[in-house]
Structure formats: C-alpha cells, structure tokens
Structure 1
Amino acid sequence: MTDPCRPDDADQRPRIGDWKGYGDLADLQDARLAATVAAAARSPFYQRRDGGRLPADRAGLHALALTTKQHLRQAYPFGMLAVDRSRLATYHESSGSGGTPTASYYTETDWADLAERYARKWVGIYPSDTFLVRTPYALMITGHLAQAAARLHGATVVPGDNRTLAMPYSRVVRVLRDLAVTLTWSLPTDTLLWAAAAEAAGHRPDQDFPALRALFVGGEPLSAARRDRIARIWNARVVEEYGATETGSLAGECPYGRLHLWADRNIFEVHDPRSGRTTGHGRGQLVVTPLYREAMPLLRYNIEDDVEVAYEPCECDWWLPTVRVLGRSGFVCRTGAVEITQLGVEELVFGLPAGYGVMFWRARLVGELLRIEIEARERYREAAADELVAAVRRRYGLDAEVSARAPGELVPHALLTAGGDVLKPRGLYGPDEDWDKALQYY
C-alpha cells in the first residue's frame, strides 16, 4: 500500500533538462509547494508556530516568518520531526561550536534525493572511479553525502575523514598515489595541505598523481584565484559544491564553471538582515525551502551564508540561478567605511605569481593596518611582500605589513610528514613500558 505521507517516487523528482526557462522552473516549484507545506504541517515546530497557519501558495510562503538556526536549536533534538522516528535513516548535527546543537535527520527517501543532488557533477562519477572522501563523518552530513553519491554511481569509496588521527597528511598522500585515486572531496584548504605534504615526501603534485582527474571542494569561500592555483598545482579540475548539514547539496557547478542553485528541488530567496527585506535575487543571506524533504521539512530556512544570487543566461542551458558564496560575517573585518573580507584578501594573496610558491597565509586587522603573513620561496619573499602591500593599498586604500616567511613556519613541517595510528585500549603493561597510556584511545 502506498504511504500518502511519502513524497512522489524518485522517478517524479525533476532532472536537469525537464524545464526550459525560468518560467517553467517557477511552475515546477509551485506544483511541488503544496506537498512541501503538507509535510511541514506534520512537524511539531510548524504546528505550534503562528497557530499552525501555513501558506497555501508562493505568496503565502513569502509572507511567512523566516525559520532560523535559533529555531532549530530550540527544537533540539526532534522538535522538527515530521515522520515517525522508526522511519529515520540518519541523524546529524552541524559543525557549529558550543551551545545547543543544530540537529538534522533524514529518511531513506530523503537520502535518495540528497545523493542524487550531490552527484550532479558535470565531470561525472563512474564505477571506474576511486573516490577519497576527506570530510568529517562524525555527526555532520558531508562525508556520508559524498559516500552515498559515489555508491549510487558504483564508485569505490575511500573513507578518509579529516577529523581522525588515523589519517594524517602523509597517509593521504600515500593513499592518493598507491590507490590511484581519481576523485576527492574536501575543503579547498585541504588540497593545498596535501600538496605541501606530497612535496615534503618528494612527490610532484602536478606529475606524480596522474590518475587524479577532479577535486570536489566545498565548505569554505573559494576565490577564482585560489581555485586556479589549486587546479594548476594538481593538474586536475577543481569542481565546487555548496550545501549545509541541514539541507544537503544546494548548488553545484556546470561545465562552464558557474555555481548553480538546485532550484528545481528548493525555493531560494535572499534576505537583507539590515533592511529586513527578502527578494528572489541579489546580495544577502540565503533562505531555502526544500521541496523534497520528508523527515524534517523546512519553510524559509535562513542558512545565514552571505551570497549573491542572479537569474541570468548560461551556456549550460540548465536554467538554474547562479550563486556566489561570500562566506559569513565572521569572515569580515571593518575599519571605518572599509569592509575587508576573507575572500577579498585571498584573491590578493593568490593573485601573486604561482612561482612564488605561496599556498598558506593569515591576516589580522589592527586598527587601520592589515597585517599579513605568508609562506613563500626564499628567492621571492621580498617581491611577494612588496607586491602584496601594493595590492592591499590598491584594493582597500589601507597600509599593509606583510611578512613573507619560510615554508613550514605557518604550517609546521611535522604536521605534513607525521605518521599516525589509532591506539587500541590497553590495560596490561610490562615493567619497562609507559602505562600512563593505559585506557587512551587516540
């Protein structure tokens, strides 16, 4: 017997190419909205909110108050649950530090949609691929999402994680090389750390890993300059992904390098926190209403990521809005009327010539002085510092103090070369052994 509370069968979920033009896309969203609201009506959170009055159409949806991260924290752990707990497949929490967690949960039906959206990579995922998953598995969704998508397409998964002592950078390099890894999933910064570890082991990242064809990256803002540098270092494509533990994949990259929102599976809005206005495009915080969410329906959920959304033509003909992910307020510093973003400084750092060998940097705003430290090759340190000072002055009209340091001073060489293992609990020791390690499991 068909469960009337379940969403349409997988065959009914939209596929890229099922619509032609943004008008068709809006019609597709409107057709799905009633089922989305019906799912939300089974959630205790939405039953209590506004007296249980839920929208009947898009106009009503836009009049509804935003759902915030604080609402999710207050509903912890299962206040957003819209199905019986016996139907849950996984439970997750976001990466936020401190305080009450933000919980998320998914059914098997939800997971079919999650895996399919993540797998919309224009480079493809195939049975012949060996896929290193180098994002967290513990509570967050990222590692599980990539693994599910890879298995959906028959690829071999290498569950690397990046929060375990059992997988230090030296081991990542060995696995990449010995297993002939073809695809990876990680933070952009992680790919640079692998490159430094590979060089420390005597390898040439652009030549000694010929099987590697694409690096899937997400989880932090990525400038075009750093993206190009990563691609050059590894001689592989860099494919960007954007999403959240609460929602799964929200955007992916087309063959022409643009990041497109999956607006066939979600309704997106842009919220200006200063004016309180919410529109369909422009710059502000991303608001999402998932259209195929069963366990934990969300109506107008504010991700709180700063983005820029545009509806514009693209050669890919996907007819999906484009998005630039700008980060969050924690990635912004201000002095007077000048706003300095992490993404902006990153563009300047990676705008330096590749030959200078700059991969790692840090910056701090002190009054009206921007202090930057970079690692650079010895013969180029003076030039790198001078050029970066000039670039900061041109872009921000501020003075900068740049210290170009030797490789290994920002990212310790020992971090890149150390081996690692996970100890098993042990209680019995010999007379000359260090029993202070008893019961340690790390």
Structure 2
Amino acid sequence: MTEILTRLPQLGQWGGTDELLAIQDQQVGQLLRWAAASPFYSRRFGAGVPASRADLLALPLTTKQDLRDNYPFGMLAVPKERLATYHESSGTAGQPTPSYYTEEDWVDLTDRYGRKWVGMDASDTFLVRTPYALMITGHLAHASARAVGATVVPGDNRSLAMPYSRVVRVLHDLDVTLTWSMPTETLLWAAAARAAGHRPGTDFPALRALFVGGEPLSPARRRRISEIWGVPVVEEYGSTETGSLAGECPHGHLHLWADRAIFEVHDPATGRTSPDGSGQLVVTPLFREAMPLLRYNLEDNVEVSYDGCPCGWHLPTVRVLGRSAFRYPVGAANVTQQRLEELVFSLPVQDEVLFWRAKAEPQRLTVEIEVPDARRDGACLALAAAVREEYGIDADVVGVPPGSLVPLHLLTAVHDVVKPRSLFGADEDWGKALLYY
C-alpha cells in the first residue's frame, strides 16, 4: 500500500493552478480506460474510448439516478473479487445508491481524509461518532485513523448501544483527543455533558479538536461550538459515493482536493458548467478504479473559487450551501437555514442557546429557541430584531425552556442492550422474545 501512496499526488507537489491541471491531465487517460470496463460507461462511450480532458468534459453528467438505475453492480469496472467494501448513501429517494471500492481505492480514500491541518497520529484517541452501517463515513474515519496508529473508539451514532450519556462518559474517561461527527452532535454532547455535571470547555482537557462534516455549518455556529468546547472545529466535506472531497487548511478555508479529482460547477438552469462560481458541484474522482464516476453531479449547492489562500496549497476553495440551501419564501423575503442559523448563533454565549427550530410559512416566520428563563426575554427580542434587520420581516420568536426541543431524557438515558433470547421466567416480559435493543 505504501507503493500505491507514493503514486498519489501529495500536498506541496505543485506551485499553482497550471501545475495542478497538469497533474490532473496525467491521470485522465488512465481513469477513462478504467471507466471503459464499466458496463454503464462502456455503453455511454459507444465504439470509441475517450482519452483526454476535452473528451471527458464532452460527456454527459452522471446522475444519482444513473447509480440507482444500475444497482447493484452495473457501474463495476473491476472483477468483483477485487472489491474490498460495498456501501450505500444515506439518501431518501427510496432507491439504493450503491458505491464500492477496491483495497487500492481505499489508500486514496484514507489519505484524503487524513489531510487535516490538525494532525492525527498514534498518540490520539479518536471517537468516530458517525454511521457505520452501509454509509462510508464511519469506516473512512476509522480506517484513516488506524493508518496512522491512532486508537479508535467506534461510537456509531445510529446505535442504541451508544446513547449520549455514554458518549460523554467515553469522552471524559478515555481522554478522547479528537472526534468525528456532524456539527449538531457536538452541541448535543455539550448539553449531555452539562446534564451529567460536566463543563464542556473545562472537564475534557485531553480534547484538542472536533472534526465535523455531513451538514452545512454557518460561521456563527462553528464559532459557538469552538467557544463551548474550547478547541478548534475542523470541517470536512465529502460523500459516500466519493469519499473526502475537501478539507480545511490552517487558515480556516475549505479546499477541494483538486489533485485527486476534477471539479466543475453546474448551472441547472442553463446546463452549462464552469471551473468556479455558484451552482451544483460536479466531481470526477481521478483515482477511483472499482467504480469510476465521470462528471458525477452531487447536486450539492456550492460556491467555488480559485482565489489565492495564504496556506499555499494552491487548491480551489469551496463553500457548501447544502442540497437546496433550505430556502423558503416568507412575505417578500427568501429565508435560508444557513443565514437564519447565523443569526441564532450570533446571540451572546451567555444566552445558552444550543437548539432551535423554525417554520417558514408564506406570510409568517416562527422561530423557537431553547433558552433559560432568566435570558428568555432578551434573547427573543434580540433575535427578532436581527431577523427584521436581515430580512425586513417580523418573526414570532418564542423562547422555550431547555429540554423542550431536545428532551432531557435523550441526553441522560442509559439503554440496556441485550442479546436475543427465547426462554423467559414467569415474571418476565416474553414480548421481547428474539428481539434485541
């Protein structure tokens, strides 16, 4: 695997955009030959196999529906015996979106995920708090940490075996140094820690960074999470179909891994694509052999820029807005989750607002925030004023007691996880026969 890693581009091997494009061009021909072995792309190519970047960019976009229509192995480009893992994304379309990788593909995957400005090594204890079942996210972080010798704590967030009370205990007792989760998880941990009598920014001294991804993150919420825990929040962006696509540099910018993939921005209104600007992100992983993806439209709304960054990585930056930017009309305004979240988490930290929700109706915006009694009136007035200034509309801002949006029992419960059984005593509930939870 070390030999494979030496063939992959590494940060610092190019000095600007032209050299970066040359690195891409060196791999395009090989990628297209790999793709020709896939039944899906073999049909798409017809009689001839494309060989250049120009040929690649002339191909139609690959869509999520293409992957679903070719479930399970219509995209496979290697003998099935070479596969190392099979995955499906977390989409809600009701149809499986398959994805699979060889052992060699995994070298590229783990190396990309490991590109964190907060380094990870054998001295770290790493809590992985993302799903393991079918999606790649938990397995990717786990494999990347093991590749550098770190101790992994597999804290799957889709298992009753790992309630929030247990997460807090593990964080505290095991001296966890790094974590991987969605941003919302870190706020839930903070509430659970306080419910257990801990102070998030003080009682977890081993913690040195929080790795987050999987949902849009506004600058204000990011700052609030960092303020609560007293450590950096390091953002990651990717998907089950592609692995890591972007990571954060020491200057806080999210950079696309354009040495390992070709990125385009697609305008669904015009059908045109460009290297930068605003639109849907299209990605062509360059070192994906098991399941090549050519011009794959992730359908995530992004803003991509090639402006310079002090980090010197010479990679494009990306701002991820989400699948549809969660935009809803209210009166004459268009309300987005990203911007509304920015307003909520711009409230003073003393207001202790961690959780909120909003309902956008054609003529009315209602926002609920969890806030202690002593801070309720001031926080509601301040948020209503911020919404009025931002959108020019009056919002009904309602303060609710802590525990209203995220019930306390979810933060403190300890579940019994038992094995299935069939024989019960006279005073036992045999309705649980064969079930385990």
Band the TM-score falls in, shorter-chain normalisation: over 0.9
Whole-Å separation in 1 of the counterparts to 2:47 and 2:100: 22
Whole-Å separation in 2 of the counterparts to 1:337 and 1:306: 23
**TM alignment of 1:368-407, pairs within 5 A:** 368-407=363-402
8 A contact 1:253–1:259 mirrored in 2? yes
Q: Could you tell me which amino acid in structure 2 is paired with residue 255 of structure 1? A: P
Q: Could you tell me which amino acid in structure 1 is paired with residue 164 of structure 2? A: Y
3-state DSSP of counterpart to 1:352: coil
Instruction: Deviation per CA, 1:46-74: give whole Å up to 9, x if none.
Output: 01125255532222222211000000000
8 A contact 2:330–2:361 mirrored in 1? no
3-state DSSP of counterpart to 1:316: coil
Aligned to 2:192: 197
**Structure 1: runs of 5 or more not aligned:** 1-5
- Mean CA deviation greater in 49-58 or 268-277: 49-58
The yes-or-no answer on 1:17 pairing with 2:12 is yes
3-state DSSP of counterpart to 1:270: strand
Identify the match of residue 354 of structure 1 among 346, 349, 367. Answer: 349
The yes-or-no answer on 1:318 pairing with 2:313 is yes
8 A contact 2:281–2:301 mirrored in 1? yes
Instruction: Deviation per CA, 1:311-341: give whole Å up to 9, x if none.
Output: 0111110000000000111622134663221
8 A contact 2:325–2:336 mirrored in 1? no
Aligned to 2:228: 233
**TM alignment of 1:45-124, pairs within 5 A:** 45-51=40-46, 53-124=48-119
3-state DSSP of counterpart to 1:256: coil
Q: 1:52 to 1:262 in 2, by over 3 A?
A: farther
Aligned to 2:287: 292
8 A contact 1:134–1:161 mirrored in 2? yes
Instruction: Deviation per CA, 1:200-224: give whole Å up to 9, x if none.
Output: 0000000000000000000000011
3-state DSSP of counterpart to 1:269: strand
3-state DSSP of counterpart to 2:46: helix
Q: In the comparison of the two structures, how many residue pairs are matched?
A: 436
8 A contact 1:41–1:52 mirrored in 2? no
The yes-or-no answer on 1:338 pairing with 2:327 is no
Deviation at 1:272, TM superposition (A): 0.8
**TM alignment of 1:93-242, pairs within 5 A:** 93-242=88-237
3-state DSSP of counterpart to 1:9: helix
Whole-Å separation in 1 of the counterparts to 2:90 and 2:314: 32
The yes-or-no answer on 1:412 pairing with 2:410 is no
TM-score (norm 1): 0.97
Instruction: Deviation per CA, 1:55-100: give whole Å up to 9, x if none.
Output: 3222222221100000000010000000000000000000012422
3-state DSSP of counterpart to 2:416: coil
The yes-or-no answer on 1:367 pairing with 2:362 is yes
Whole-Å separation in 2 of the counterparts to 1:360 and 1:228: 15
Whole-Å separation in 1 of the counterparts to 2:45 and 2:326: 34
Identify the match of residue 433 of structure 1 among 425, 428, 432. Answer: 428
3-state DSSP of counterpart to 1:99: coil
**TM alignment of 1:203-282, pairs within 5 A:** 203-282=198-277
8 A contact 1:46–1:52 mirrored in 2? no
Whole-Å separation in 1 of the counterparts to 2:69 and 2:323: 22
The percentage of aligned residue pairs carrying the same residue is 66
8 A contact 2:301–2:325 mirrored in 1? no
Instruction: Deviation per CA, 1:103-149: give whole Å up to 9, x if none.
Output: 00000000000000000011100100000000000000000000010
Q: Could you tell me which amino acid in structure 2 is paired with residue 401 of structure 1? A: D
3-state DSSP of counterpart to 2:421: coil
8 A contact 2:201–2:228 mirrored in 1? yes
Deviation at 1:421, TM superposition (A): 2.8
Q: 1:61 to 1:339 in 2, by over 3 A?
A: farther
Instruction: Deviation per CA, 1:385-416: give whole Å up to 9, x if none.
Output: 11111111111122211111110000000000
Q: 1:98 to 1:311 in 2, by over 3 A?
A: closer
Aligned to 1:3: none
When the two chains are superposed, the root-mean-square deviation of aligned CA atoms in Å is 1.3
